[in-house]
Amino acid sequence: MTPHIHRRQFLAASALPWLTPLGTSLARAAEKDKRNAKSVIVLWMGGGPSQLETFDPKPGTDIAAGTKAIPTAVKGVQLASGLEQLADQMAHVSLVRSLWSKEGDHERGTYTLKTGYRPDPTVTHPALGAIVCHDLPGTGVDIPRHVSILPNEWPARGGALGAEYDAFKVFDPAEPVPDTKPQVNAERFEQRLSDLKVVEEAFAKGRGARASATGHRDTMDRARKMMSSDQLKAFDVSREPESVRKEYGNTAFGRGCLAARRLIEVGVRCVEVTLSGWDSHANNHQITTRLRGELDPAFAALLRDLYTRGLLKDTLVLCMGEFGRTPKMNALEGRDHWPHNFCAALAGGGIRGGAVVGESDPDGGKEPKDPQPVANLHATVLSALGIDHEKTFRGPLGRTFPRSEGTPIEALLG
């Protein structure tokens, strides 16, 4: 008769030398899975924010042009004056101060920062959020898993992964989500769907796979499911207490960040919230002062809120724009495009807090210390999410390319 082995006895036996490698490997895999982030919030600073007036101030230098710096919760790390609330949250935040790219045009720079690749006429690379939604398991949500709030003209796209991974675009969360309520009464709406089914069935006759390949029926089913889903309430920030809404700030961007937290909470994988207007070719200080006034409360409240709710460990927050601004002020008291070294801020979701990677030239030169190409930023985010950044996609012309050509920045991975 085979003796019964108790579960505890088996676990104890795993300490035997011949089982130790297997046990260790399984334990490491389980711990890695536990550490991986599950979702991403991208705070997109449309127009290219000045690094000197945000995350890389140079107080007392000529290139600062009078911009002051403030201390943060991390000793020795400063932010530009006007980011006081975010400064208090710096224990959660890390900075890359030596990003660089070869793209100084808004559209091309946006493409590069959102995809990790320079534009290529033979393929449209998927944006970060599209990769996240494609690679991570579904979360059982009825609403889109990739959302863009307050998008500008270049929202995140699915690219080679397909249009189904494009970001679902919505605007100020103070307004209802458009096109989610029938324009007719329920009975007439159902009749229209019934009529549509007749047309679809007639079209499909003799066409078989070609009709199925259009994806029309799947799209309609998903849309109808979304329209009747209780999860649509996640977009409605008016359901939050007034005290919470006040913390984020009474701005469209603040409401967008609050909606992002609510969407992540119900299982959305990636939310992009845009704060446009950073293209400060003239009156740089005036523009950045106004925009910091929107960014600071919203970014800080988002981090506090995620942390308090136990969501920050599973949610990676990334704040960036398409490039930085010139160290030298122009004749209009503005700063022009500068892709040579600029900044990104990361927090939560497997990112070590309080770290600073790289250093820009205090005299305004083009060569930073420890330069980091944009692809490295993408590889880092994907690694924090447990996604193999070297795994390849196949483009529409049969070419294969990795999810990221970069190398993860180990200093940022907790």
The Cα–Cα gap between 333 and 20 comes to 65
Q: What is the DSSP string of 206-263?
A: TTTHHHHHT-HHHHHHHHHHHHT-GGGGGG-GGGS-HHHHHHH-SSHHHHHHHHHHHH
Per-residue pLDDT, averaged over 212-221, amounts to 55
Q: How confident is residue 177, by pLDDT bands cut at 50, 70 and 90?
A: confident
Ranking 30-34, 233-237, 244-248, 371-375 by mean pLDDT, the lowest is: 30-34
pLDDT of residue 164: 93
pLDDT of residue 153: 96
pLDDT of residue 200: 66
Domains of the chain: 35-176+236-412 (3.40.720.10), 179-233 (no CATH)
Is residue 376 within 8 Å of 112, Cβ to Cβ?
Answer: no
Q: How confident is residue 117, by pLDDT bands cut at 50, 70 and 90?
A: very high
Per-residue pLDDT, averaged over 11-24, amounts to 42
pLDDT tens column, 143-157: 999 999 999 999 999
The Cα–Cα gap between 233 and 276 comes to 26
pLDDT of residue 32: 46
Provide the strand spans (E) within 247-362. Answer: 270-274, 315-320, 324-325, 337-338, 342-347, 356-357
- Helix/strand/coil for 187: helix
Per-residue pLDDT, averaged over 293-314, amounts to 98
Q: How confident is residue 225, by pLDDT bands cut at 50, 70 and 90?
A: low
Partners of 401 in the beta sheet?
Answer: 393
Torsion angle of the four alpha carbons 326, 328, 330, 334, in this order, in degrees rounded to the nearest 10: 60
Phi and psi angles of residue 65, each rounded to the nearest 5 degrees, phi first: 50, 40
Statement: the pTM of the whole predicted model exceeds 0.85: yes
pLDDT of residue 193: 59
pLDDT of residue 397: 81
pLDDT of residue 325: 98
pLDDT of residue 229: 75
pLDDT tens column, 336-374: 999 999 999 999 999 999 999 999 999 999 999 999 999
Q: What is the chain's mean pLDDT, rounded?
A: 88
Q: Is the pLDDT of residue 208 over 50?
A: yes
pLDDT of residue 231: 87
Phi and psi angles of residue 342, each rounded to the nearest 5 degrees, phi first: -150, -170
Partners of 345 in the beta sheet?
Answer: 95, 319
pLDDT of residue 13: 38
pLDDT of residue 182: 63
Ranking 109-113, 399-403, 408-412 by mean pLDDT, the lowest is: 399-403
Q: Is the pLDDT of residue 53 over 80?
A: yes
Q: To the nearest whole percent, how much of the chain has pLDDT over 70? A: 79
What are the b/e assignments for 82-94, b being 16+ CB within 10 Å? bbebbbebbebbb
pLDDT tens column, 378-392: 999 999 999 999 999
- Helix/strand/coil for 100: strand
pLDDT tens column, 305-330: 999 999 999 999 999 999 999 999 99
Is residue 133 within 8 Å of 145, Cβ to Cβ?
Answer: yes
